[in-house]
Structure 1
Amino acid sequence: MHRKFIALIITVAVAVTGLTAPARADTDDIAKVLAGIAALAIIGKAISDHNDDDRTVTRHVYQTPPRYQPVPPRYVTPRPVPPAVSRYNLPRHCLRSYSVNRGTIRLVEAGCLNRNYRHARSLPYACQYQFSDRRGRHTGYEPVCLRERGYRIAG
């Protein structure tokens, strides 16, 4: 940008100088004009050669890393659950459904828990539910209430 501006200024200066010179032409004046034109041609050629520089430009091309290859899963046997956690796992086979006149009641049976669950006495009393039908009296714990208190039915 600067080079073009400078070349334009020199060209305008030479043109204005030629217009303001007297109209008489000596051999001396013609030699000076030819020398000026030659000087301008040399300067123009130097600027052109400088712009057409054939230097090689080396650019770093960023290569994307290879895609992440996931490791195939290894099949491992699960470790036993710690006692503090397994305490809240209730046996699934103690979950029973009872049909009564108002629908179906699901309970975790108290007798089954006493036989198959070590911590049956520590279950919350608020979740205990009792009802009677033709087959007798049934005592158990409501699964939703137990789930709200951190217990779960393990498979």
Structure 2
Amino acid sequence: MFRSLRSSLSAFALAAAVALGGLGATAAPARADADDAARILGGIIALYAIGRAIEMSNDRNHPTRQYHVPAPHGRIAPAHCYVEFPARDGYFRGYSGPCLQHSVRHGLPDACARDYHTQHGRQTFYGARCMSQHGWQHEIGYGH
């Protein structure tokens, strides 16, 4: 209901502005003084304020709801496997390969695997964005 009312008010405001603007374009010389101009401007501002008030009221009455949608086949990346570290090609955010392989054991997307040199030698890590694009979700839990 508010949406149609808001559209009607917007259309009305536009029509009023065009009509008021058209009054000044008549063949007769314009004889408006400062009071008339102030009334016209005040009317336009009032119409705009009414439209914004209705829009804001409508937004408050219908808050955006966010739902947690479980990943298909239970593909949840454990929070305790999440790591962040500076890398040569930028800042890495993702999951430790050994941790994931221990926790998940199968179904990890090979396309997301990247090898990095660490203090423990060469290790595989899985990029968080890539994992998300392959249907994995970050486990809601402690840490990150």
- Is TM more than 0.5 here? no
Q: Identify the structure with bigger relative contact order (alpha carbons < 8 Å, sequence gap 6+).
A: 2
TM-score of the pair, normalised by structure 2: 0.42
Structure with higher helix content = 2
TM-score by length of 1: 0.40
